[in-house]
Structure 1
Amino acid sequence: MSHDLSPYISTLTDPKELSGQVAIVTGGGLGVGKAVTRALVARGAQVVIAARRLPVLQAAAEEITADLGGEVFPVSADTTDTESVTALAAAAADIGQVSILINGAAAPAGLVRNDIAQADPDALLADLNTKVVGYFRCIKAVAPLMRANGYGRIVNIGGLTGRSSHALSGMRNLAIVHMTKVLSDQLGPDGITINTLHPGVVETEHIHELYAKNAAAEGISPEQVERNFIARTPIRRVLTAAEVADAICFFAGPRAGGITGESLGIDGGLTRGIFL
């Protein structure tokens, strides 16, 4: 079965290649999610940003539209609640054809980074419910909308802890990779791609909280933690949220139609594993 991509592709170099498309970005008010929202608006998409704190979303929407114009719609939603996610998808569908979903709502760095003796099972369940089942809820809500039109792009924001052994919360990112691959089989025949991207160390509002936590655990300064991260990264710097957003937007765009079920690090080379 073939899919007509002409409504989504004007030219391969069109800077407004996402014009006429409605995107949902969960966790869209801060950090990478906010940068993704900005990048999608710059490419012409109408963007629904979702999170639990409406004032944060409203501030982000006002900032982005003041800078770029376009349309950003803040919607308060809790991805741990199925009814809330269903309402989010319905609100986006009222705006237009939903063709892009960026899943990013999650506790930054995960809730369980301790030794098992201190690790809280309830916190681990919350991690999995928010990020894994939360992403699943969002995909389940938008898949019928995308299937009806024979086109869709889903990008899951994972994390490098899924490729290492230093944090128990990393299992949530590993689970997302598995879900991505399974759903690529199910959604591909309907013209829908789904991929997972793993950001590395990115300059956001949350990264300095991570530096502080690691510093307390290691008995060094937050500045030294940052220097250590940079020293281990081949490009020798922290990534910007805009760089991560540009990569995500490529996978969310029409030119990435041949890529699905994949897991890619956007980490400046920090991941040392070899993935075939």
Structure 2
Amino acid sequence: MDLGIGGKRALVLGASRGLGMAIAQSLAAEGVTVFAAARSHDKIADWAKGMENVHPLQLDLSKLDEVDQAVDGLLADGGVDIIVNNSGGPPPGTAEKTERGVWLANFEAMAANLFHLNTRLLPMMKERRWGRIISITSSGVEQPIPNLAVSNGVRAAVVGWSKTLANEVASDGITVNVVMPGRIHTQRVDELDGAAAKRTGAEVEEVAAKSRATIPVGRYGKPQEFADVVTFLASERAAYVTGSRVRIDGGAIKSV
């Protein structure tokens, strides 16, 4: 299937590892020019060796000056057609014990600065009457995950923003969607399993086995499986999909 995005330009956030890296690689394989952004610029340069259509970009979402500097460069170079919003996961913790400063810092990095970045890049998409905005959140926005209060709360704000924006720009040929990963086997999932093991006194593999047992397909997802769905949503073929939340969780969320 020709996805019709060869020659398009994409900004992929959080692309140094995990889901962001897999998405950037998947888009690049379709002939998209990818600006792969993250705090760890060197890590992107390492995995992107030999990939002429992947360009590492230094961008720390928690620093507004870096966000604006990156956007300034992209706009001067012609903007982008596809934005993949993918912020790092906040530390685990309960809602009861999370302090105000933690909420504010993570809302700024995971939501406010991300909204600002998209707002600045939108006008060029509207001029071209074509664009794709895809935000990676978490299954926790539908079924809150214990001990991930900040992630559950802040990512839910991204969902509300996405649905609102989708309705505003649909007539401009721009789609806006949210993709919700379940337990995709990345370093982030390994870190969360490790934190759970430390908190409960169990072995890490025991924690992982219990987690896998809650997933109907019986395993963690592969980053490439997730990235392929995101790449389809970024494609010409998905032009009629907007304002949607797409689960990629092996059936883990219990509701319909």
Instruction: Decide whether the 8 Å contact of 2:79 with 2:121 is kept in 1.
Output: no
From 222, 235, 239, the equivalent of 2:221 is: 239
Indicate whether 1:171 and 2:153 are aligned. Answer: yes
Matched residues in 2 for 1:70 and 1:229: separation? 39
Aligned to 1:55: 42
**Paired letter, 1:78:** D
* 1:34 CA drift (Å): 0.2
Which runs of 5 or more residues in structure 2 are unaligned?
none
CA deviation vs aligned residue, 1:12-56 (integer Å, no higher than 9, x gap)? x226x3211110001011100000010000000000011122212
Normalised by the size of structure 2, how large is the TM-score? 0.93
From 119, 123, 126, the equivalent of 1:144 is: 123
Which runs of 5 or more residues in structure 1 are unaligned?
1-12
From 155, 161, 165, the equivalent of 2:134 is: 155
* 1:115 CA drift (Å): 5.4
* 1:160 CA drift (Å): 1.4
Aligned to 2:2: 14
Instruction: Decide whether the 8 Å contact of 1:32 with 1:241 is kept in 2.
Output: yes
**Paired letter, 1:155:** I
Aligned to 1:111: 91
Distance change (3 Å), C-alpha of 1:148 and 1:86: farther
Instruction: Decide whether the 8 Å contact of 1:162 with 1:174 is kept in 2.
Output: yes
Aligned to 2:25: 38
* 1:84 CA drift (Å): 2.4
* 1:129 CA drift (Å): 1.3
Q: Which runs of 4+ in 1 moved over 3 A?
A: 93-97
Question: What's the secondary structure of 1:58's corresponding residue?
Answer: helix
Matched residues in 1 for 2:155 and 2:44: separation? 25
* 1:89 CA drift (Å): 2.6
CA deviation vs aligned residue, 1:134-172 (integer Å, no higher than 9, x gap)? 321221121011111111000000011222342312011
CA deviation vs aligned residue, 1:47-93 (integer Å, no higher than 9, x gap)? 0011122212222322xxx3xx4411111112233342233233234
Distance change (3 Å), C-alpha of 1:23 and 1:186: same
Matched residues in 1 for 2:173 and 2:71: separation? 19
From 130, 133, 137, the equivalent of 2:109 is: 130
Instruction: Decide whether the 8 Å contact of 1:22 with 1:95 is kept in 2.
Output: no
From 198, 202, 215, the equivalent of 2:180 is: 198
Matched residues in 1 for 2:75 and 2:162: separation? 23
Matched residues in 2 for 1:35 and 1:85: separation? 22
**Paired letter, 2:128:** N
* 1:131 CA drift (Å): 1.2
Superposition pairs of residues 222-233 of structure 1, within 5 angstroms? 222-233=204-215
Identical positions, percent: 26
**Paired letter, 2:188:** H
**Paired letter, 2:127:** A
**Paired letter, 1:168:** A
- Paired residues in the alignment total 253
Indicate whether 1:73 and 2:60 are aligned. Answer: no
Instruction: Decide whether the 8 Å contact of 1:111 with 1:127 is kept in 2.
Output: no
Instruction: Decide whether the 8 Å contact of 1:195 with 1:260 is kept in 2.
Output: yes
Task: Please report the RMSD computed on the Cα atoms of aligned residues, expressed in angstroms.
Answer: 1.7
Matched residues in 1 for 2:203 and 2:46: separation? 32
